[in-house]
Each structure stands twice: as structure tokens, then as C-alpha cells.
A and B are shown apart, each in its own frame.
Chain A
Amino acid sequence: MGMTMTQKILAAHAGLDKVEAGQLVLVDLDLVLGNDITSPVAIKAFQQMGRETVFDKEKVTMVMDHFAPNKDIKAAQQCMMCRDFCGEQEITNFYDVGQMGIEHALLPEKGLVVSGDAVIGADSHTCTYGALGAFSTGVGSTDMACGMAIGKAWFKVPAALKFELKGKLRPYVSGKDVILHIIGMIGVDGALYKSMEFVGDGLASLTMADRLCMANMAIEAGAKNGIFAVDEITKAYVKAHSDREPVVYEADADAVYEKTYVIDLSEIGHTVAFPHLPENTKTTDEIGDIPIQQVVIGSCTNGRLEDLEAAAKIMQGKKVAKGVRCIVIPATQNIYLEAMEKGYLKTFIECGAVVSTPTCGPCLGGYMGILAEGERAVATTNRNFVGRMGHVDSEIYLASPEVAAASAITGKISAPEEVL
């Protein structure tokens, strides 16, 4: 029996020729990530482990993105703890305000992850780097501490689901619509403990931004990781961002998949996840008038340059509807700068939106766009749980940047075609 892409990466990093689903393995890590919320807990655990230094100061990274720039005194203390620790340990890749961006947009951009890597991060959306053909998964702070101490993590080798993509996306439909469609189809625990492996001719029409967005939300189906087959698009991206040599793992022809889903990209419409689960999906042609008060365009899911470009093209020359607050958050400093140079930020501001410095802020109800009782938001983020973005009686509708931009203009959940 053959191995999946994920199983091959795990086997290689565990020093084994072969692994199979269900086997427990201790894996060598290429990168260990934490942010300003999860790292303080990990730092305490690391100190309790009695270790003096991290296993490799080049392979531990911390990004101050969740409540940074510091939202309050407690958040400031947490960032200070990370800053002090990274200073003492001489961590090379510590990203503070000024250099930081939203972690899962930042790490690929900085070239810290390449195809074939095994990565853990104390953040559930660490699965994002599967877009690069890496094994990467979210863990807790204690696992992060263990990773920092010994450069290893234990895993149960996952079984896998195969998603064979074919066809080409329709105009104004993007990776977000595809992954919401898939989560709607298999449910929020449809891939529990498993890998989601994306392959097929359809990959050719998906940009790296589309793929990063899709792998990012694998966790919203309960998956251990999402991973894309490596093609020329991946190789070009990795080459442009990293000096490290990628290692390409392909699934064996006889790899075992519990189930294969064939998805025709050309059949996917503008997809929106209704409150309070990412699986509650509908297409924009199935819904009536749903007035909204806020739009958030950004996050580790959809704060990349391509996302801002898509939103700006729709919003160009129009005005944000009266009564709607539209918040745009470029995910990294680089994206911010490029969006400025390309005129997207000007478009947003002229249209009545605000543009924030990179932060996770509103996505998890931290700051920079908290919802009041009874308010509704369209967000390009990844979770619409009860109270996620503010008051327990507020509502979040997850959508693509295209739908979010159109909704900001009309003041209700709208397909892009309504404003074009």
C-alpha cells in the first residue's frame, strides 16, 4: 500500500521508510511558530521543562499579530514576555510591530516555509502552509514548548480525504468560495483527524492566494492538515520567496484515501457561511435581503494582495453604503506597501472604508472592529462562531473578498455582479 503526500512527509521527518494511518510517530520539525497569545503559555512551559536554550534559534519563530499593536496593558505585557524571551534566546525570526504581519501570510512571504517541510504552530490556522506542499498543523502551547525544546512533535499518522479539482473558477469566484463549498459539503468535522489532499487539473486555475486560503480553512473541517500537490505555480512562488531548496512529495498511485471527492470548480458559485458554523453555507442566489452593519476584508485567510486587488476592483469609484463600516486589513507590511503602490488603499479610503495596520484584531473579537448586540458582519475571515467577533448576539457571515466588497457597497449580502 502506498502513502499519501502527508504520510510521505511524516515518514521522511520521522526517519522511516514507511508509515501508515494510525501509527504514532515522533517527527523532526523544520519550524516551530507561536504568536503573542499562545507563546506566553509556551514560554512558561518551556521554562518548566528545564531547558536553557531552544533547539535551533533559526527554526523558532514568534509573530506579534493577534493583539498587536498592543490593544491593552495585559496584551502589552504578553508581547513584552515574547520580546524578552526571543531576545534572550537570540531568535532570528522574531516579528514585532513594524516587521510583523498576520503570521500565516507572513511566513510564506518571508520564505520560512518551503515544500516538503514539517511545521507546527501554536495557532490553529498553521495548516495554511499546506498550500506550499508542506505538512503543517496547529497545536497548543505545550506542543509548541516541546517543539522549541527538542525540535520534535508526536503525531498520529492521519488517514486522508482526496479532493480532485477539475475545471476552472468562474469570474469573481475564488479560493474562499471553493473551501466554503467543501466545508458546507463535508461539515465542520467532516475531515476530523484527517488530511485533506488537493490534487487535479483544476489546480492550474488556482493562484497561491487561493491555495493558501483553502489550506488555511482545512481546520474548519476538523482536518489535521490540508495539502496541495506541488506544481509550477508552487515552485515559482517558493523560488521567489526563499533560498531554501523545496522537496516535492507526491502521493503514490496506490495511496489510500478514505474517500475521493471530485469537484468541478466551474460549478462553484459565490458561497457564504451563515452563523454560527462555517458549514452553514448558501450561495448568494439562495438568499434574500440580509442587511449588514460591518464588513471586514483581511485576516490570515483573505488579507493577501490578490484579495485586496479583487476587493478594490469591485469598490473602485463606488461608495460604502450608509450605515456600513468597512474595515480593510492588509495582512503584512509588504502587502500594505504594495497595495499602496498599486492604488488599492486609495480606492478603499476614497470609497469610505478604513485601512488598518496588519493585525488579527477583529477576526477573533480582539479589537479593531468589535460587533455590538444584534449587528451583522460580512467577513473574509474564517470563523463565525457565537461571539467570535464581539457580542454573543452578533452575527458573522463568512465570504470571499469579492462578496465582502460588493456587500460593503450595497449594505446587504451581495454577489459581485450586483455592483458591477
Chain B
Amino acid sequence: MKMTGSVIKYGDNVDTDVIIPARYLNTSDHKELASHCMEDIDKTFAARVKPGDILVAGWNFGCGSSREHAPIAIKASGISLVIAKSFARIFYRNAINIGLAIVESPEAADAIAEGNVITADLDNGVLHNETTGQDYAVEAFPAFIQTIIENGGLVESIRNGSIR
């Protein structure tokens, strides 16, 4: 899995209530959710995000509510990868289950700045900062999770019988 994109950066403890406020949870329409993504911490996000962009954040990204609408809104916004110092656990599994790529790297999350262009090679576990020339090593997913991702998420894994 490889992607290149420019970075939009946030701080620590970005919770799912700000990723997608509950007042918009009366729908599960992906585009509509994307149109309100991040609006309670960054009203400019929906307008400026471009397909392929990479979201970078601090500790405990996605904490709070289990709403899968949060990774769905991020993915539907066009974000190709989220890099954070750490992820809240429900967000982490939701992202994997719906096929939103995520990596944990305190080092990269610290060093990468807003607007940097990053190329991520997740198979080989390398993030390359095109803007600064720096490389950051990241851990590959455990085999079990790799199976889910290779099958295109949990829904497809169940449908094709690779998990039963």
C-alpha cells in the first residue's frame, strides 16, 4: 500500500465528537458526513481537504464515542492516511474495519509539519517526507489485521469466508 499527499495537522486528543458532531449522526450518508468532518475544531477542513491528503495528529486520536461515522467521514473526505502519535482503541479498529489506512508514529507525528508532502510505503513500513527529505520507520500491521486489510475490510472478509 503506497500513497502520497500533503499534510493537514491537528493536536492531541482529537475526539470523535469534533471529527463528526453528533448533530449530524441522523444520517449515515458518506458524502454528507464528509461535508461536516472536523467542523467543530476546523471550519476550513471540508473546503480545503484534497483527495489523497494525509492527516497528522498527536496522542489519542479518535477518542470518545465509538461512532464509525468518524473514520467514514475522514475517508469520504479524501484522506488517504492518518498518522498519529497514538489512536484511541475503538477508532483504531473501526479504521481497519472500514479500510482507512492509519499508522502510529510519535516521531513522525512530531516532525511532520502542516503542508509537508509525505509518501507512505506501508508494506515496507517507511514514511518519506518529500518536503524535508526525512524518513520515519513505522511498524507493519500484525498478520491477522493484514488479512482483514488484504480482503478489503471486515465485511468482505466475512463475505468471502476468510474469517468465519
Contact = CB atoms under 8 A, between A and B. Distances in A.
Interface of A: 24, 26, 37-38, 40-41, 44-45, 48-51, 66-67, 71-72, 74-75, 78, 122-124, 126, 138-143, 145-146, 149-150, 154, 156, 188-189, 192-193, 219, 222, 224, 277, 364-366, 383, 385-388, 392
Interface of B: 13, 15, 17-18, 21-23, 25-28, 40-41, 59-60, 63-69, 71-72, 86, 88-90, 93-94, 97-98, 142, 144, 153-155, 158-159, 163-164
Contacts of B72: 41
A146 B158 contact: yes
Contact of B40 (A74, A141, A386): A386
A53 B71 CA distance: 27
Nearest to A72: B26
Nearest to A191: B89
A192 B60 contact: yes
A385 B68 CA distance: 18
A386 B17 contact: yes
Contacts of A140: 66-68, 71, 90, 93-94, 97-98
A340 to B, nearest CB: 29
B23 to A, nearest CB: 6
A386 B26 contact: no
- What are the 10 closest A-B residue pairs judged by CB atoms, nearest first? A140-B94, A74-B26, A140-B68, A142-B97, A124-B66, A364-B22, A189-B60, A387-B40, A141-B68, A138-B66
A365 B97 contact: no
A143 B41 contact: no
6 contacts: A41-B69, A67-B26, A141-B68, A150-B163, A386-B15, A392-B40
Contact of A24 (B60, B142, B164): B142
Given A192-B89, A277-B13, A365 B23 contact: yes
A78 B24 CA distance: 12
B90 to A, nearest CB: 5
Contacts of A392: 40
A40 B93 contact: no
B66 A38 contact: yes
B21 A142 contact: no
Contacts of B89: 192-193, 222, 224
Contacts of A71: 26
Contacts of A143: 93-94, 97, 154
A48 B160 CA distance: 11
Contact of B64 (A67, A72, A124): A124
B9 to A, nearest CB: 18
Contacts of B69: 41
Given A142-B94, A188-B63, A224-B89, A40 B164 contact: no
B65 to A, nearest CB: 5
Q: Which interface residue of B26, B65, B71, B158 has the most chain A CB atoms within 10 A?
A: B26
A366 B17 CA distance: 12
Contact of A45 (B22, B25, B71, B155): B155
